[in-house]
Amino acid sequence: VVLPRLDEFNSQALANIAWAYASVGHSSPQLFDKAAEVALPRLHEFNAQHLANIVWAYSVFNFPSTFEFCAHPDLVRIIVSSIDKFDDKHLRQLHQWNLWGKERSGKTLLPVDVSEHCLKIFSSSELSQSRLQNDVARAL
């Protein structure tokens, strides 16, 4: 139902659907392929949150075609040029995406200074338990 209408989605909706699928572990290579096709020419419409959510979602699934989208020079360029607009949560997502890119290609997707900044934010964050972890702990 969603797939044929993805070209009607705005940047927020594209990022949200990718993030939602990744968050619940619902694998759909066709959806991610189509979303990449729709998103790539419209990257200028994505804000920092949308960019972080979509690259994180793509790195979660690790479909063969996702690397082409996530390593696309236009995507990397727009992320790097707007790095000061990302909050800490989204910088942590970028760090995870960057690590995934390094695993896939042997090199980071982001320039060294940006990679180091994302790592610093990722490493400095306090760990927090999810609602599920808290529910399990209470049950035990």
Whether 131 shows a pLDDT value over 80: the answer reads no
Which range has highest mean pLDDT (25-29, 78-82, 132-136)?
Answer: 78-82
Residue among 39, 24, 31 nearest 1 (CA): 31
Q: Read off the pLDDT of residues 75-107 as tens digits, 9 standing for 90 and up.
A: 999 999 999 999 999 999 999 999 999 999 999
In contact, 17 and 52? CB cutoff 8 Å? no
Tally of CB atoms within 10 A around 27: 11
* pTM to 2 decimal places: 0.86
Q: Read off the pLDDT of residues 28-81 as tens digits, 9 standing for 90 and up.
A: 999 999 999 999 999 999 999 999 999 999 998 887 778 889 999 999 999 999
Dist. CA 128–CA 87, nearest whole Å: 17
- 3-class SS at 124? helix
How would DSSP label each residue in 38-107?
A: HHGGGGGG--HHHHHHHHHHHHHH--HHHHHHHT-HHHHHHHHHTGGG--HHHHHHHHHHHHHHHHHHSS
Of the pLDDT bands very low, low, confident and very high (cuts 50, 70, 90), residue 27 is confident
Sequence-distant (≥ 6) Cβ neighbours of residue 114 within 8 angstroms:
80, 83
